[in-house]
Each structure stands twice: as structure tokens, then as C-alpha cells.
Amino acid sequence: MTDGTTAHARLLPALVPLASRATTLVRRTPFTSAVVLVMIVAGLATGAFWRAAADQPWYPWIAYGVPSLESGRWWTLLTGPFLAVVPPFYLAMTGSFAVFVGWAEWRLGTGLAALTAVAGQLVGILAALVFLLLVRGTGWPWAEATSRLLDVGFSAGALAALAVTSATLRPPWRLRLRLALTLYVLASAAYLGTLADLEHLVAVLIALAVGPRLVRGRAVPAGRPSRREWRLLAVFLLLLMAAGSVLGFLVPNDGPLGPTGDPEASWLDLVITLVGVALLVNGLRKGYRVAWRWAVGLAGANVAVGLLAAVVFVLAALFEDATAVLDQPGMFVADRLAWAALLVLLLVGRRAWRVPSRRARRAVGGITDRETAVRLLERHGGGTVSWMATWPDNEWFVTADGEACVAFQRHAGVAIGLGDPIGPEPLPALEEFAVRNETAGLVPCLFSASDATARAARGAGWLTAQVAEDTLVDLPGLEFRGKAWQDVRSALNKAAKQGITHRLVRLGEERRAVVDQVRELSEQWVGEKGLPEMGFTLGGVDEALDPHVRVGLAVDADGLVHGVTSWLPVHAPGGTVVGWTLDVMRRREGGFRPVVEFLIASACLAFREEGARVVSLSGAPLARTDVAGDTAVLDRLLDTLGARLEPLYGFRSLHAFKAKFQPRYEPMHLVFRDEADLPRLGVALTRAYLPDTSARELVRLARG
């Protein structure tokens, strides 16, 4: 064979799978494929691929618009969608149609996708033209100019199909895509204001409204935004407003709301604006309370200025020329509405920004930070929940000698210490923590304290109640033998047969695609719950990204992540890691069924080989096999709360599931001062675990 023949022989086998996939794609999306083919043929036949269609003498006969409608050229509604105004737009038009409508056809079927695209295109065009006919005689310059324009393209139909199909997505992608579409059409209509932008606005808003009805049984409930989602929504809205400022400065335009640029703005103004936005974005993204306060203040000030201007505008309209008050009333109103939307978002989702600032942590005294907590934990060691004390939502009290600290959160006037005090002796640190908090008007307590700390506290006059059980698996000599381990062995064997492997990694070091899959699994789980995501002793992906934390991934041969677990380190004095505590546990819906058993068993074997002594499957909140404490009142409250949350979060079912690993149990306690504090403690604990829950939901939860 010659070299050329050899190359062809090697190339042909590689092309066969590609051709097969292309054939399958065309077969699954016949409507999309046919429309894209017609677009290409039309572009070639008319020469619009290399000459601007808008400059051709035949353009008014194929393009739709108010002039075409008034001239009776109704067929332009059918001819216009298959051409682009200028040659570069062909790539965007055919590409977006192929992706948006093709995806809709793949998920919804050919009939519904075709109906959505065609109806969305026609409704978007006709509604836009009727609106222009109604307002062009009002003296609105933009309406007068736009009503003389002609347009071509199928973009309104493609966006409508995408908007309808978004209703079939699971959280969090459903909310993200629908919000992105809404903000895109609103911003483009306000800042650009072309005929196409008006068509897009109408088509997308109608499609978003009717989409869930059109897809019927395939529609997915909207779900609740997670704390991360609230943060991203605020960041996205701020960035959108910043982008508007940049566009208005660099590319000023006369849009439907008036001139988008400010002639008095300078480069210095733009830089100051962008720096301020960048600082706010970084703080809001990380959940800092101080960034939330600044953002609320800034948004509130802008809304207040808007209200004041509205009053002045109305008064001026009564006595003189109102245009003298505002040179750009339309854009001014639009900007105030954007700030109002941000203010509402920040207030409704306020509990997503709970990470305290250093100044807030000084309020109880003994300022320290996460690094100090980590250093003390590595020096003195801790229990199975001690690493949770390093999470950023906590505040930290440090003793006067600097040798111990207590991580805590403030809810309903209660300082809830998390786990045992970190230090050489728990009782002195607890007593100092109590004195400082009582001085600050807070009720002190410890939650999930160990047996040893509970005994020491009882000896000093504190009261205790069991609130959970730690489930511990001793690793030395661990082997999954015998009938009791049948489910675990079965999970391992099935995983091997199906090509599912276990990877124990540092998540922050993984590729972006892997991290995105982990976030998708976690946020899908959160979005499908009837209540917001929980907090306090239950971490998420952000905590799993900590380089000290290990993450177990169940991955198939195609790189799809079927399940995730995260493991928090348990330190002995001196910093040696002697065990690991299970935190995040998520599985992919429709994936490898026994993935959780597989992940836990595989991690236990890996940690055993590394020399670890124990694995904690963690204490499921409000789930106990036995109750022992100083008060039955709190027990009843916790049992009631646990029963109400069981259908939503399955704590007790999870507690029973962990029995498959033959653990030993150690009680975890609430340590508190006075039975008179029990009502407040109950509210505080509920708020700690459900920080995003409204007062109305808490009342409903209490009533059952």
C-alpha cells in the first residue's frame, strides 16, 4: 500500500461512527434538519451567503415588517425566516436554530417542537408588528423608526422553542436557563431595541408562560433556589447592570427607552463603577453578610432616588415641562427597576448571605478566624464533627489563653456551639464561652457534644439531652464477610460488572467538568425538596471543595458521575488524621442504583489501607435509636421536628440505612443551662438547620 492508501484506510473506520451518529441525529430531529437545509439552500440560491440580503432589490418582497404588513405581503412571514440580513449572521442563525430547536425536538418530539418554533416565530413577529402599529403615531421616536424597518430570520421561533423546553429541565438548570432567557430579552430590548429584539421579547415571555402547560407531564416543578443559587442570581443581575453601563458608555444607542449613553460620564466614572461591582460580586458570591448589607444599601439608595425622582417628575408635569427634570426618563426608570429587582432578590434570599465578617465575630469576643480554628484542631485533636467547626458560616470564640475555641452560630438569641470545644479540656472552654455569651445577651449551648463533654458538663450543673447518634465503623480488620454484609458485597460486585469505579480525590484538584457534575447532582437534590436546603451540620459542595476534605466519586467508563460522597478529617492530637466523617452523600437519579453502598464500602476499604482507625457515617440530625436526657420536653420537640422533616429529608430512613455497615453507636448531646430556655432552643435549632425557611413555613412545620 502507498502512504496515501494507508491513510485512507485508517481514516475510513474513524469516519464510520461519525456518519452513524450524524444519521441518528438527523433521524431524531427531522424538522430541525429540514429547516436548516432550507436555510442553506435559500442562502445559496439568493446569494445571501456572500452579499447582504438587506442591500438586494428583492429584499422588501421576502422580509417581514410593518411596511410588508401594510402592503399586503403576508407571504413574507413564510419567506423571511429562512434568510439572514447579512452573511455573518447566517452562522449564528443556523447554529442557534440547530441547537435550540434540535434540543427541543430531541426532548419534546418532532410535532411539539415544530409547533413551538413555528407558533413562537409567528406570534413574536405579529405581536411586535401590531404593537408598533399601535404606538408609532404617539410621537415616540423609537417606535417611528422601528416601524419602518424590515427583518428576516428564525430567531424568535428558536428562542421560543428553547424557552418552552426549559420547563422540562431539573433544578437548578431550569431556573438558570429561564432567568438567563428573561434577562437577555429584557436587556437587549432596552439597550438595543431592534425589531428582532422586540420579537424575541414577545416570543420568549409568552413561551416561558405557556411552556409548562405545553409540555404537560414532562414539566418539572420549579423547586427552590439553593443558597448558592441565590448568590449566583444576585451576582448575575449585578453583572448584567454593569454590562449595561459598559455598553452605554462604549456603544451609545437610541433605544426604546431613550439614549443609553450618558454624555457626562467619563472613564473614571466607569472604572469606579466596575471596581465597586467587582468588590460586591466577590463578596456576594462567597456569601458574606457585609457584602449583602452594602448591596442592600446601594440598591435601596437607587430605589429611593427613583421614587424621589418620580415624585419630582409628577410635580413638574403638573406645573412645567417634565422633560426638564430628566433628560433620559426611560433609561432612568429601567435602571431603577433593575435595582428594585436586585433589592427584592437580596431581601427574599437574605439567608443565603450568612458568612460573618471579622467585625461581627468580635462581638462575642476572642476574635479568631478559620485558620486559627484549624491550627487548634490539629494541635489538640477533635471528634467526628470537629471539622465542621471550620466551616465559614460559623463564628469562633477563643478563650483568653488562646488554647481553645468554640465554633458557634447565632439563631433566635441562642449561641449554638457546634460539637465539643476544641482544646485540651472542654469544660473550662465551655464555661468561658457561656460567660461571654450571657454577657452579650445570648443563651449558650452545645449541639452534638460527645459523651465525655456531656458528662463533664453535667458534673458542672449543665443539663443534657441526646439529639443524635454517631454511627462508627471500626476499620482495623474490617472485611465484608458473612450474611450481614450481603448488600454491601452485592453493591461492590454489581459496580465491577457495570464498569463503575471508585475514585478518592480532592475535589478542588479535579477538572471543571467533574466539579460541574458534582454540583449538578447536589443542586438537583436540593431543588427537588419541599423545603430549602439544610445547613449547620450538613455541608455541601462548597465545603467538599476544601483541600483537607476527601471526595469519593462513582464514575462509569464514559466519565459520568453516578454518586458522590465527601469525607471530613478526624484529627488526633498532633495533627495526625485517624479517621474520616461522611458529610455529602448524593446519587444521580436513574444512575447506578446501589451507588451509595458502593461509595461508602469503597471509601472504608481505601481509608483502612491508609491506616485510618475509624469512619463515622455521621449522626443523622434528629434521628435516634434511644433517648436519654434531663428533659422529656426537648425530646418531644425534637421528635416532632424529626417526624415532620422525615418525608422531605429522610433522616430516620438514612439512619436505618447506615445499619447495613454494622456500626457501633455513640450518643451525641445537646448541652444547655436551663429548662426555661427550651422553647428558644427549639426555635434556634430549627432555624440553624433550616436557615432559608420562612416564619410561615416554620409554623406549618410545627403544626404538621
pLDDT digit string, tens, across residues 607-618:
999 999 999 988
**Domain shared by 299 and 325, yes or no:** yes
Distance in angstroms (rounded) separating the CA atoms of residues 353 and 284: 7
Cα 107–chain centre separation: 23
Please indicate, yes or no, if residue 96 is contained in any of the structural domains: yes
Q: Is 60 exceeded by the pLDDT of residue 633?
A: no
Q: Which residues contact 12 (CB under 8 A, 6 or more apart)?
A: none
- State residue 629's pLDDT score: 46
Q: Which residues span the domain enclosing 214?
A: 25-223
**Domain shared by 207 and 130, yes or no:** yes
What contacts 24+ positions apart, CB below 8 Å, involve 673-676? 673/434, 673/443, 673/444, 673/445, 673/462, 673/463, 674/463, 675/463, 675/630, 675/631, 675/633
Percent of the chain at pLDDT exceeding 90: 43
Please indicate, yes or no, if residue 7 is contained in any of the structural domains: no
**691: preceding bond cis by omega (within 30 degrees):** no
Per-residue pLDDT band at 18 (split at 50, 70, 90): low
Which of 352, 378, 410 is the C-terminal boundary of a domain? 352
- State residue 628's pLDDT score: 46
What phi and psi, each to the nearest 5 degrees, are found at residue 571?
Answer: -100, 145
Q: Are strands 395-398 and 258-259 parallel, antiparallel or unpaired?
A: unpaired
Any idea what DSSP says for residue 274? H
Per-residue pLDDT band at 590 (split at 50, 70, 90): confident
**Domain shared by 106 and 200, yes or no:** yes
Distance in angstroms (rounded) separating the CA atoms of residues 377 and 265: 53
- Whether the full predicted model's pTM is greater than 0.75, yes or no, is no
Treating both helix axes as pointing N-terminal to C-terminal, what angle do 632-649 and 695-703 enclose, rounded to 10 degrees? 110
Q: Is 80 exceeded by the pLDDT of residue 560?
A: yes
Distance in angstroms (rounded) separating the CA atoms of residues 111 and 97: 16
Mean pLDDT, all residues of the chain = 83
Please indicate, yes or no, if residue 486 is contained in any of the structural domains: no
Please indicate, yes or no, if residue 672 is contained in any of the structural domains: no
Distance in angstroms (rounded) separating the CA atoms of residues 447 and 621: 10
**Region 74-89: what's the mean pLDDT?**
91
Read off the CATH number of the domain in which 66 is found: 1.20.1540
**Region 473-494: what's the mean pLDDT?**
92
- State residue 272's pLDDT score: 81
Please indicate, yes or no, if residue 390 is contained in any of the structural domains: no
Cell numbers 413574507 correspond to 76
Distance in angstroms (rounded) separating the CA atoms of residues 398 and 417: 12
pLDDT digit string, tens, across residues 293-324:
999 999 998 888 878 877 776 666 566 554 54
Per-residue pLDDT band at 647 (split at 50, 70, 90): very low
Across the strands, what pairs with 668? 468
Please indicate, yes or no, if residue 263 is contained in any of the structural domains: yes
Q: Which of 158-162, 552-556, 678-682 has the lowest mean pLDDT?
A: 678-682
Q: Is the dihedral of CA 355, 359, 363, 366 positive or negative?
A: positive
- State residue 33's pLDDT score: 93
Q: Is 50 exceeded by the pLDDT of residue 366?
A: no
Cα 353–chain centre separation: 14
Q: Is 80 exceeded by the pLDDT of residue 634?
A: no
**Domain shared by 65 and 207, yes or no:** yes
Q: Is 50 exceeded by the pLDDT of residue 457?
A: yes
Is there a contact between 420 and 380 (Cβ–Cβ < 8 Å)?
no
**Region 93-113: what's the mean pLDDT?**
93
Choice between 119 and 461, residue whose per-residue pLDDT is larger: 119
Q: Is the dihedral of CA 529, 532, 534, 540 positive or negative?
A: positive
Is there a contact between 430 and 446 (Cβ–Cβ < 8 Å)?
yes
Q: Which of 272-281, 353-362, 455-464 has the lowest mean pLDDT?
A: 353-362
Q: Which of 264-273, 346-355, 452-461, 495-504 has the lowest mean pLDDT?
A: 264-273
Q: Is 60 exceeded by the pLDDT of residue 531?
A: no
Please indicate, yes or no, if residue 253 is contained in any of the structural domains: yes
Residue 663: which of 530, 485, 512, 501 has the closest Cα?
485
- State residue 387's pLDDT score: 94
**Region 47-61: what's the mean pLDDT?**
89
**Domain shared by 216 and 244, yes or no:** no
Per-residue pLDDT band at 447 (split at 50, 70, 90): very high
Per-residue pLDDT band at 163 (split at 50, 70, 90): very high
pLDDT digit string, tens, across residues 226-256:
777 788 889 888 888 888 777 777 777 677 7
**Domain shared by 258 and 189, yes or no:** no
- State residue 358's pLDDT score: 58
Distance in angstroms (rounded) separating the CA atoms of residues 626 and 635: 11
Choice between 54 and 262, residue whose per-residue pLDDT is larger: 54
- State residue 440's pLDDT score: 76
Q: Is 80 exceeded by the pLDDT of residue 19?
A: no
**Region 218-229: what's the mean pLDDT?**
70
Is there a contact between 137 and 184 (Cβ–Cβ < 8 Å)?
no
Q: Which residues contact 241 (CB under 8 A, 6 or more apart)?
A: 277, 335, 338, 339, 342
**How many Cβ atoms sit within 10 Å of the Cβ of residue 692?**
22
Distance in angstroms (rounded) separating the CA atoms of residues 223 and 527: 5
Q: Is 70 exceeded by the pLDDT of residue 402?
A: yes
Q: Is 80 exceeded by the pLDDT of residue 167?
A: yes
**Region 89-101: what's the mean pLDDT?**
91
Per-residue pLDDT band at 693 (split at 50, 70, 90): low
| Structural domain count of the chain | 2
Choice between 323 and 653, residue whose per-residue pLDDT is larger: 653
C-alpha cell at 579: 479517621
**Domain shared by 100 and 183, yes or no:** yes
Please indicate, yes or no, if residue 500 is contained in any of the structural domains: no
**Domain shared by 219 and 286, yes or no:** no
**Domain shared by 44 and 77, yes or no:** yes
Which of 165, 197, 223 is the C-terminal boundary of a domain? 223
**Domain shared by 210 and 272, yes or no:** no
Q: Which of 154-158, 395-399, 464-468 has the lowest mean pLDDT?
A: 464-468
Q: Is 70 exceeded by the pLDDT of residue 452?
A: yes
In terms of average pLDDT, the best of 150-159, 258-267, 358-367, 683-692 is 150-159
- State residue 1's pLDDT score: 45
**Domain shared by 194 and 289, yes or no:** no
Distance in angstroms (rounded) separating the CA atoms of residues 27 and 102: 11
- State residue 627's pLDDT score: 46
C-alpha cell at 377: 484542631
Which of 352, 381, 407 is the C-terminal boundary of a domain? 352
**Domain shared by 107 and 171, yes or no:** yes
